[in-house]
Amino acid sequence: MDLRAEGLSVRRNGAAVIAALDLPPIPAGELTVLAGPNAAGKSTLLLALAQMIPATGRVTLEGADLARMGRADRARLIGMMPQQIGGAGGLSVLDSLLAALHAGGGLAGRALPGPEASRHALETLARFGIAGLAPRPLSALSGGQRQLVGLAQAIVRDPRLLLLDEPTSALDLARQFQLLNEVRALAREGRIVIAVLHDLTLAAHWADRILLLSDGRLAAAGTPDDVLTPETLARVYGIDARVERCSRGRINVMVDGLSA
Amino acid sequence: MVGDAEVRDTGASFEAILAGETARTRRRWLLVVVLALAAVASLVVDLTSGPSGLPFESVLRALTGQEVDRGTAVIVWQVRLPVALMALLVGAALSLAGAEMQTVLENPLAEPFTLGVSASAALGAGVALVLGLSLPGLPPVWAVSANAFVFAMGALGLLQLASRLRGGGTEVVILLGIAVNFTAGALLALVQFVASPDALQQLVFWTMGSLAGARWDGIVLLAALLAVCLPFSLRASWRLTALRLGADQARAFGFDVAGLRRMALLRISVLAAAAVSLVGVIGFVGLAGPHIARLAVGEDHRFLLPASVFTGAVLMSLASVASKLLVPGILLPVGIVTSLVGLPIFVALILRRGV
C-alpha cells in the first residue's frame, strides 16, 4: 500500500527539472509533505507522479505501474489539486464538483446518476463545511474559499492517491489549521497523501514525513525531526535558521538571516 | 469544521440545498425545452411570412398535405420550406460550433466567423466563381459550395495543426485564426480585383450570405452532419464543462484535454464549413447564439450545448423573417441581417468583460 518512484526524470524546454529522482516508498495512512525552495521542482514532481506531464522513470501505486495504466484507470486512482483553482464564467461550486466527478469517470470509476451525484458532491462540500457555497458562482468566491472548493474537487472521486499543490497558500491561520486537520484525516482513512507546503513550521506540525526537494533532487527525507535541522536548512535554502521546540514540544523553524 | 459560517449564513439545511439544486436542474431542462419550442415557433413564423402574402391557413393546409392550389403548393414546398429549414439548420450548426469553440479555445469571442472560417469559405467560392477552378467530377451546381467547404476545412485544419504544435496554447490558435481571416480577406480582394463584372456580382452576393439558394439535398446533408456531431458533443459535455475551469484544472481531473480539444475542433470544422459553404458568409450567429444560451442556462454544457443549438436556430430563423420584412418587397441577404443584429451584441460583450 504505497507509492514508489524510481529514476524519475522530467525535462522542460531542454533542461532537466527533475533528474533521476528516487523517492523512498510513500505509505498510505500518513501525510507526506513535499517542501523545498522555489523552482525546486515540487509542482513538476506532483504532475510527473500523476503522469500528467511526460516523464521517464517508474512510478508504481500499490505495485501497479501508473504509466502502463489506461488514462481512465489512473483518473480513478489519482486526485490532484493544482496550485491555481480556476473558475471562469458563472459555473456554480456544485456544478464544478459535478464536472470534476463526471469528467474524471465517476466515483472511484463508477458512474453516478444525477440525483445521487448531486448528493455525493454536496456531502463532499459538507465535509469541509462549505455546503452552503454550493449554489454560488465560483467567480464570486474568495481565494480561501476557492482553495477549499479545489480540495473538494480533488477528493470528490474518492481517489487512493491525493496530490495537493500548496493547498493552504490562500488560507488564514484558522483555516490552514482546519484544512490540514482534514487533509491528515483523509490520509488516516487509508489514502496516500502528498501536499506541497512552503511553511516549514506548518509542515513540522502536520507532516508524518517530509520530502525536501532541491534542484530536482531529494535533499533530505524522513520525519520532521530528521529533516528540519539547521544544517539541512542552510544547505537547501541558504538560510541561518534555528529549529527549536516550544513549551508544548512543537517544532518551530525560525530564520535569523541568509547564511554567509 | 472549516467555514461553518458560510452554512450558517445561508441558513439552509443540507436537504434544502439539495432540493434547491434539483429544482435548478429541472428549471434548466425546462428552459432548453422552451428554447426548442421557440425554434419551432420561429420556423412557423418564417414559413408564413413572405412577399406572396399567403394566409396562415393555406400554408398550414399545404404543409399537412391537404388540397391547395398548385401555386400555393409550389411556394410552400419549394420556396419557403427549404429556406426556413435551411435557416434553422445553419443557425443550429453555427451556434453549436461557436459554443464548443469558445470552450475549447477558452475565449468568449471565438467563433468560426472571427477565426477566418467564413473568410476562407468566401475565398473558396471566389476561386470557383471567378477563376472557374473547382473540384473535378462534381455537378456544376455544387462547384461553389464544394470549393467553399474545402477552403473552410483548410482554414480549420490550420487551426488544428496550430493546436498540436508543441507548446501551441489556445492563444496561438486564436492569433493564427485572426491571421487566416485577414489573409483570406486579402486574397479574396485580389480575386475580386481580377473578376469580370458578372462574376464579381455573384461573388459579392455570395459573401453577403443568402438562404435563397437553399436546396433539399443541402438541407439533408447539413441535417445529417448535425445528427452525427451532436451526440459526440453531448457525450463530451462534462469534460467541456470541466474545461471551463481552465486547462490545468481539467487535466487534474484526469482526462485527455488535448484529445478533447482535437475532437471538438473536428466537429466544429465539419459543422461550420458545411453551414457556411451552403449559404455563404453568416456572421455572429456562432457568437451570439452561445452567449444567449449561456445567459439562459449557464455554463453546464449538458444544458448549454442543446440550448445553443436552439438559440442559433431561433436567431437565424428570425433573421430570415427580418430579411423578408425589413424592406418590403425586397429579400435582403440574410448575412447582412445577422451581422447588423450580432454587432451590437458583440460590442456589448466586449464592454461587459464579465464573460
pLDDT in tens, B96-133: 999 999 999 888 888 888 888 888 988 998 998 888 88
Contact criterion met (CB below 8 Å) for B182 and B235? no
Contact yes or no for B9 and A104 at CB 8 A? no
Q: Is A167 on the interface with B (CB under 8 A)?
A: no
Is the domain covering B90-351 a CATH 1.10.3470.10 domain? yes
Chain A closest-CA separation from residue B262 CA (Å): 17
Domain segments of chain B as ranges: 90-351
Q: What is the DSSP letter of A107?
A: B
- Compare CB distances from B245 to A75, A96, A135 and report the shortest one's residue: A96
Nine-digit cell string for B267: 466537429
pLDDT tens, position by position, B248-265: 888 888 888 889 998 998
Gyration radius from chain A CA atoms: 19
B25 in A contact zone (CB under 8 Å): yes
Q: Which residues of B touch A85 (CB under 8 A)?
A: 245, 249
Assess B298–A contact: CB distance below 8 Å, yes or no.
Answer: yes
Residue with cell 476545412: B153
pLDDT per residue over B46-62, tens digit each?
998 887 777 778 888 88
Q: What is the pLDDT of residues B192-217, one digit of tens each?
A: 999 999 989 888 888 888 888 888 99
Inter-chain residue contact A84 with B246, CB threshold 8 Å: yes
Instruction: List the single residue in B2, B255, B298 with the smallest CB-CB distance to A130.
Output: B2
Distance of CA A13 to the CA centre of its chain: 25
User: B252, A154: Cβ pair inside 8 Å?
Assistant: yes
Q: Is B257 exposed, middle or buried (0-12, 13-18, 19+ CB in 10 A)?
A: buried
Phi, psi of A123 (to 5 degrees): -65, -35
- Grid coordinates of B301: 454544457
Among candidate residues B260, B264, B258, B259, the one with its CA nearest the CA of residue B229? B264
- This prediction has a pTM of 0.89
Using a 10 angstrom Cβ sphere, with 0-12 exposed, 13-18 middle and 19 or more buried, the burial of residue B116 is: buried
CB atoms within 10 A of CB B225: 18
CA-based nearest distance A121→chain B, Å: 10
Using CA coordinates, name the residue in chain B closest to A89: B355
Amino acid (1-letter code) at residue B213: G
User: What pLDDT does B33 receive?
Assistant: 97
Q: How many CB pairs under 8 A join A and B?
A: 141
Per-residue CA distances from B56 to B31, B46, B72, B73, B188 (Å): 28, 11, 11, 13, 43
Q: Using the beta-carbon criterion (under 8 Å), do A84 and B3 form an inter-chain contact?
A: no
Least confident of A78-92, A109-123, B183-197: A78-92
Name the pLDDT band for B88 (thresholds 50, 70, 90): very high
Look at B245 and A86 and tell me if their CB atoms are within 8 Å: yes
Residue pair B144/B135 in contact (Cβ under 8 Å)? The answer is no
Binned at pLDDT 50, 70 and 90, residue B350 comes out as low
Residue B131 near residue B192, CB atoms below 8 Å? no
